[in-house]
């Protein structure tokens, strides 16, 4: 006898993150463990939701791109123990490079949808200062020897230069202008106290400086100018177009989120910041991985029965400015459209690889709260080795008005 079950709605209850730091010996987290950053985020997201007993958590999934050292050992399990979750709460590790946390969310949300879970915690962490991307990896030589992958596909900055080659109208000047706006929007969001709402203060310590407290992102450069951006070197190609100013930096940080079946959220009296509508991942040529969000978004829209015109807010990860521009250009969206990354993005605040997907969700949730006239938004990102990932969300605060008439 078969048992028929209805697919359940999944809601994002909350999402938090540590301040993002600059990777390296002088960064705020130079002597802080990666798993301690993660634990700080996990503890805080639970503290902010006291109606949720930790014993109700059905699974924990944590992403890291470089799963080695203090980012290894099945982080979902070890971090859950360190965060004080009951021993009955299981955990797992996830890796989809930059989209690790995004994948942790979609994997667990799928479990909620089919009834395997009621309550889950997803997270992501990357300490690029301790563990540069690819540390300890041993790619199969056949990938290059048999020309399965272009050698440049293994270097993200070079894939961004390739994207400029493919779309020559996406000039360095446009990339720099976009990057300046990211810095300006981030500075404005900080001045208005928006970004701080989801930041988790983290105690830090270094042998040289002693104890400290990280309360704000380290990477933003609010004094950025177009003239300064134009003068930066192009490290990935002589006379290239990708610079440290129009790309995200190397960063350290962690994120955590709670997702719950909507009926369970109602039962426990939990907040509902976003409702998952659909998601999709797509593969593209690895040497132009930055175009990945385009087919991923097309697939996610098709699955939801929506068009790009239905989307009122966009959170596009700014791994490189040219990658965002390629996405906007494809869908006929202006470079300076106010619906896109209204609080700035990774070019300003940083991109600690696997953690960033949840950062996008936290930003979108804040935008939903500020814009009840908007029904749908999306989070999307390019992914190393030629992929893209997109999640479409519905605004629980939607007032029922038409987005286009609002």
**Is 98 annotated as catalytic?**
yes
pLDDT (0 to 100) of residue 152: 83
**Is 169 annotated as catalytic?**
no
* Count of other CB atoms within 10 angstroms of residue 184: 14
Cβ–Cβ < 8 Å for 63, 94: yes
Cα separation, 93 vs 71, in Å, equals 10
**Is 330 annotated as catalytic?**
no
Please tell me which residue in 127, 131, 371, 382 is annotated as part of the active site: 382
Please tell me which residue in 98, 127, 131, 371 is annotated as part of the active site: 98
Distance in Å from the first CA to the final CA of the chain? 50
Please tell me which residue in 127, 131, 164, 351 is annotated as part of the active site: 351
Of 390, 372, 358, 373, the closest CA to residue 12 belongs to: 358
pLDDT (0 to 100) of residue 367: 98
- Give residue-wise pLDDT tens across range 41-69: 999 999 999 999 999 999 999 999 999 99
Weakly modelled stretches of the chain, pLDDT under 50: 403-406
């Amino acid at each position: 006898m078969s048992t028929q079950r209805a697919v359940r709605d999944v809601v994002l209850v909350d999402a938090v993150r540590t301040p993002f730091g600059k990777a390296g010996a002088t960064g705020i987290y130079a002597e802080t463990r990666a798993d301690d950053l993660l634990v700080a985020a996990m503890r805080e997201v639970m503290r902010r939701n006291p109606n949720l007993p930790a014993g109700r958590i059905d699974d924990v999934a944590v992403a890291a791109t470089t799963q080695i050292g203090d980012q290894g050992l099945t982080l979902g399990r070890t971090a859950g123990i360190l965060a004080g979750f009951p021993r009955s709460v299981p955990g797992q590790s996830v890796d989809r490079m930059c989209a690790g946390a995004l994948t942790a969310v979609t994997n667990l949300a799928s479990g909620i949808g089919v009834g395997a879970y009621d309550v889950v915690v997803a997270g992501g962490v990357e300490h690029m200062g301790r563990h540069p991307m690819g540390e300890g990896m041993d790619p199969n030589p056949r990938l290059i020897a048999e020309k399965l992958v272009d050698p440049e596909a293994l270097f993200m900055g070079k894939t961004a230069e390739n994207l400029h080659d493919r779309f020559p109208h996406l000039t360095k000047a446009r990339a720099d202008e976009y990057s300046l706006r990211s810095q300006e929007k981030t500075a404005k969001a900080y001045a208005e106290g928006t970004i701080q709402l989801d930041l988790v203060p983290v105690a830090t310590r270094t042998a040289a400086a002693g104890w400290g407290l990280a309360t704000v992102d380290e990477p933003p450069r609010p004094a950025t100018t177009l003239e300064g951006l134009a003068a930066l070197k192009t490290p990935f190609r002589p006379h290239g177009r990708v610079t440290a100013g129009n790309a995200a930096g190397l960063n350290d940080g962690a994120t955590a989120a709670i997702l719950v079946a909507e009926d369970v959220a109602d039962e426990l009296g939990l907040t509902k910041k976003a409702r998952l509508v659909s998601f999709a991942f797509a593969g593209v040529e690895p040497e132009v991985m930055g175009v990945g969000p385009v087919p991923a978004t097309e697939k996610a829209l098709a699955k939801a029965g929506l068009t790009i015109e239905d989307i009122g807010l966009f959170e596009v990860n700014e791994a490189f400015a040219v990658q965002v521009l390629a996405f906007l250009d494809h869908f006929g969206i202006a470079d300076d459209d106010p619906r896109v990354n209204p609080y700035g993005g990774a070019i300003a605040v940083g991109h600690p690889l696997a953690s960033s997907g949840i950062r996008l969700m936290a930003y979108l949730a804040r935008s939903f709260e500020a814009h009840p006239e908007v029904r749908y938004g999306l989070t999307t990102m390019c992914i190393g080795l030629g992929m893209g990932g997109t999640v479409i969300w519905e605004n629980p605060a939607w007032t029922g008005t038409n987005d286009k008439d609002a």
